[in-house]
Structures are given as structure tokens and as C-alpha cells.
């Protein structure tokens, strides 16, 4: 099945979410700004506590996009049929306080779009067989 892309724009930049699925699992790539990248991974599962791993961004610092991926995780968790991986990386060069504040609202909007899409497009579970 093709990927689904969601976009929001505010404060002079865009944030997007690319959704891919395998069986009932979900992969989301949250990127945007001037330098899209992959810096954090948030793991969401109905079987364990949500966790985020932040990779190094530069000496002495780690990526901070976990605040965005975790916001999205909370919104979509109730409608997930199985596991989700949310990978995030958004960098706005010389970000302003207004742009920084806008990111939370943008993540909220993306999360709601994704939640609504997943709710209206459930997947039939493919049964795994083991030896």
C-alpha cells in the first residue's frame, strides 16, 4: 500500500508526517524545517510503555524532537492496532521563539490527522504462523 503524507505549515515552515504500514504496524517519519533528518525514535505499543531514544546531534547535545514525537504518540496510541515507530527530525535554521512555540501546535495537528486516518482505515490482521 502506498505511503500517506500529512503536512502542516505555520510560522514560516512546514512539518510533515509520512505514514507507512506493514500488517497492523505503523511507521511514521516526522520531518521538516530547513534540515529534515532522523534524530529520535519513539516506540509506541499496546504491550509496553512508550519510549524515546534521542541520538547525538552535535558534541554534548542530543536531538530534542522527542517532545514532538511523544505528543504525536499520545494522540495516536488509542487507535493503534499494534506497534508504531515514530522517527523524528526537524531543524529550522536560526529558529525564533514564535517558531519554537508553533512546533507543539503543528505536532498536535499532525497527530490528530494521523489518528483520524488510522481510525478510518483499519487493517485486517495477517496471521503469523510459527514452526
In 3-state terms, the chain is what percent helix, strand and coil (to 5)?
Answer: 30, 40, 30
The whole-angstrom separation of Cα 85 and Cα 50 is: 10
Rg from Cα positions in the chain: 15
pTM for the model? 0.95
Q: Where are the domains of the chain?
A: 4-120
| Residue in this structure with the C-alpha cell 533528518, named with its chain if needed | 37
pLDDT (tens digit, 0 to 9) for every residue of the chain, 131 residues total? Answer: 579 999 999 999 999 999 999 999 999 999 999 999 999 999 999 999 999 999 999 999 999 999 999 999 999 999 999 999 999 999 999 999 999 999 999 999 999 999 999 999 999 999 999 98
Q: How large is the greatest C-alpha to C-alpha distance in the chain, in angstroms?
A: 56
Q: Please check whether residue 42 is in contact with residue 64, taking contact to mean a CB–CB distance below 8 angstroms.
A: no
Domain 4-120 = CATH 3.30.1490.100: no
pLDDT for res 2:
73
pLDDT for res 1:
56
Amino acid at each position: 500500500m502506498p505511503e500517506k503524507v500529512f503536512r502542516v505549515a505555520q510560522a514560516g515552515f512546514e512539518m510533515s508526517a509520512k505514514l507507512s504500514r506493514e500488517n497492523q504496524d505503523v511507521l511514521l517519519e516526522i520531518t521538516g524545517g530547513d534540515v529534515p533528518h532522523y534524530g529520535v525514535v519513539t516506540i509506541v505499543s499496546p504491550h509496553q510503555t512508550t519510549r524515546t531514544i534521542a541520538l547525538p546531534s552535535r558534541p554534548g547535545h542530543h536531538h530534542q524532537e522527542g517532545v514532538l514525537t511523544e505528543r504525536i504518540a499520545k494522540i495516536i496510541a488509542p487507535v493503534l492496532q499494534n506497534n508504531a515507530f515514530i522517527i523524528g527530525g526537524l531543524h529550522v535554521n536560526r529558529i525564533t521563539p514564535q517558531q519554537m512555540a508553533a512546533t507543539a501546535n503543528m505536532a498536535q495537528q499532525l497527530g490528530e490527522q494521523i489518528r483520524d486516518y488510522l481510525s478510518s482505515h483499519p487493517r485486517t490482521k495477517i496471521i503469523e504462523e510459527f514452526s
